[in-house]
Amino acid sequence: LYRAWPSNHALTGTILPWFIWIYASNNYDLSFAQSLLLLCSVFTWNSGVIWSRVYLGVHSPCDIVAGWVIGVVLLFISFGFCYRMEEFYYKASAEASWKLVYFTCAALFALYMQPRSWPETQTFGEVRCELKLFC
């Protein structure tokens, strides 16, 4: 097994699909069938990513559980900030365009300042993609 605790795949495979489901459920008028289909898709995506790591022998179950727990915590944190960021974005674009530029520059600066290893690893690219989705 590789020295990778927690599993970044489990973390990403938890945050991204469940964030999509929660956001879609709160912001779109989904019928029961659509919501159920989306929920099944999200569950399949999440469990498929998580258990593929154990099946392939890349991570131990402890790595997977830790990645899932951290992913759930980060999901609640990021979802809590989601509406505040969206509200700030719309308010800034309506009131003063310099706030919109500030918001964009702050997001780009956060991407630039992210710690990275040398040579760059797959984890660096994955985290960068996650940040781009939320920013």
For residue range 31-52, what is the model confidence (pLDDT) as tens digits? 899 889 989 999 998 888 888 8
The count of structural domains within the chain is 1
Range of the domain at 48: 8-134
pLDDT band for 1, please (50, 70, 90 cuts).
Answer: very low
- Domain-located, residue 44: yes
Q: Which residues lie below 8 Å from residue 111, measured CB to CB, with a gap of 6+?
A: 128, 131, 132, 135
- Short-list 36, 48, 55, CA closest to 10: 48
- Short-list 90, 109, 108, 112, CA closest to 99: 90
Rounded distance between C-alpha atoms, residue 18 and residue 38, angstroms: 10
- Residue with structure tokens 């969206």? 86
- Domain-located, residue 97: yes
pLDDT band for 125, please (50, 70, 90 cuts).
Answer: low
Residue count of the chain: 135
Judge if pTM exceeds 0.85. Answer: no
